[in-house]
Amino acid sequence: MLIFEKTKKGRKCVDIKKPEVEKYNFDSSFLRENDANLPEAAEIDLVRHYSNYAGEAKGVDNVFYPLGSCTMKYNPKLNEEVASLKGFNAIHPLQDEVDVQGALEVMYTLSERLKEITGMDAVSLQPFAGAQGEYSALKLIEAYHKENSKTPRTKIIVPDSAHGTNPASARLAGYEVLNVKSNSEYGVDLDELKKVVGDDTAALMLTNPTTLGLFEKNIKKIAKIVHDLGGLLYYDGANLNPIMGVVRPGDMGFDVVHLNLHKTFSTPHGGGGPGSGPIGCKELLSKYLPNPKVVKVGNEYFFNSYESSIGKVGSFYGNFLVCLRALAYIETLGSDGIPQSAKLAVLNANYLKHNLETKYKAINSKSKYCMHEFVLSLEDLKKETGVSGMDVAKCLIDKNIHPPTMYFPLIVQEALMFEPTETESKETLDYAINSMLEIYELAHSNPEYCHDAPHNAIIKRPDETTAARNPILKHI
């Protein structure tokens, strides 16, 4: 029920005293014709309304949230405190540069840190999400080839394990998308790559570790194949979490990257926001980065714009408070904490995988270890019991665990993708392992119960496709 539906005429939270100053009469052209349709409720009803909703929602702060590919790590409250400082959140993007030197210093320093972590030469913080970072970076690639390539570069290559935003961004940026098949170890098949790459290749988009949580060991060979034919290498940084401070995309051969600050560098996210998808690039692409850029002259910071830039890709300077949280996170961890956190993410994922493999089948059993996430295939379980990946995910809700990512990547049947992140304790991981093992037994002893799960949730099995395609948005 919406707060609008609970309206009672005349109810309010506070009675504001009538002002003692004389009422100013605005020109009627500035006034609305009808009163705004605002909910009217007493403060206690308002507080209960939102507190109850907050209690029903599942988030990182109240449950284990192993949503693969999404890096739902715990977000330190210190970052929130920093982001709520008035000097940062009560400023306006149109204020004079001299009045907001602190904010500019944050943007400059964060860009420097991200350059160091990714091995890139320049960074723009402007894109508001990973997908927008992809689009912006593809526009840099387009601008570069326009100026430097002898042949039209119209094609973007993506592996069949890629996140859906990769081909979608490439199409949106005007490219034709070519798929390259995975080999039997779920890495890029080099022979298949050689068949599709050519003098019309603009770039290959890749994430490493891949969306299957496996490190692409052939990355240097892949980079050579693409570079030798004049193409560029794009790094989808959504999976940077397990390698930050350990290896750098720039050293693997990537020319341009996007990062998901809201994942790797901690910001409460999900359900579409808030996000930030900075892009970084090697020198050869830096002159095309979005305008404006923060520059440092002596001890002062300024915005500069360049003619060669692809222009603006978002309003003002990006999602500033997400950038601020990311900087707070990076500075808190420091140069020792960043690689330590990456290693813990890998350790936690391997602990979970190893224990679940006693009953469930993880893909690529040849490779003993995964990186920060891993994918189970419940194909055999479904054949044996009729209980699907979706049923198991729904059973986890009854155990008060947020389901892992389901049915992704598309190349794995009955896929469940777990990413525990570095912030979970051994006790939490043990609880998740026991829960999954109990569900496995339940699938064999009482499959009907699994088909009807969740039994304790308010919303049980919504038709998610229809809900996404034909949303019923309520507002009075």
Ligand X SMILES: Cc1ncc(COP(=O)(O)O)c(C=O)c1O
Tell me how far, at minimum, the Cβ of 301 lies from ligand X, in Å. Answer: 27
Q: Give 376 or 450: the residue with its C-beta nearer to ligand X.
A: 376
Q: Give 322 or 442: the residue with its C-beta nearer to ligand X.
A: 322
Phi, psi of 380 (to 5 degrees): -65, -40
Tell me how far, at minimum, the Cβ of 168 lies from ligand X, in Å. Answer: 9
Name the residue number minimizing CB distance to ligand X. 130
Residue 422, both tokens: 């570095």
Q: Give 41 or 141: the residue with its C-beta nearer to ligand X.
A: 141
Q: Rounded to an integer, what is the distance from CA 72 to the centroid of its chain?
A: 9
Tell me how far, at minimum, the Cβ of 318 lies from ligand X, in Å. Answer: 13
Contacts with ligand X, residue ranges (CB under 6 A): 69-70, 129-131, 163, 165, 207, 211, 236, 238-239, 260, 275, 277
The strand ranges marked E within 81-170 are: 122-124, 155-159
Q: Give 118 or 211: the residue with its C-beta nearer to ligand X.
A: 211
Q: How far apart are CA 194 and CA 191, in angstroms?
A: 5
Q: How far apart are CA 138 and CA 240, in angstroms?
A: 19
Return the DSSP state at 401. Answer: B
Tell me how far, at minimum, the Cβ of 130 lies from ligand X, in Å. Answer: 2
What's the angle, vertex CA 269, arms to CA 302 and CA 360, rounded to 5? 135
Q: Give 113 or 163: the residue with its C-beta nearer to ligand X.
A: 163
The residues, any chain, with a CB within 8 Å of residue 202's CB and separated by 6 or more, are 138, 141, 142, 145, 153, 154, 155, 156, 175, 231, 232
Q: How far apart are CA 245 and CA 256, in angstroms?
A: 18
User: What residues form DSSP beta bridges with 296?
Assistant: 301
Tell me how far, at minimum, the Cβ of 248 lies from ligand X, in Å. Answer: 18
Q: How far apart are CA 372 and CA 408, in angstroms?
A: 16
Q: Give 277 or 403: the residue with its C-beta nearer to ligand X.
A: 277
The bridge status of strand 122-124 relative to strand 155-159 is unpaired
Tell me how far, at minimum, the Cβ of 274 lies from ligand X, in Å. Answer: 10
User: What residues form DSSP beta bridges with 232?
Assistant: 203
Q: Give 198 or 274: the residue with its C-beta nearer to ligand X.
A: 274
Tell me how far, at minimum, the Cβ of 263 lies from ligand X, in Å. Answer: 7
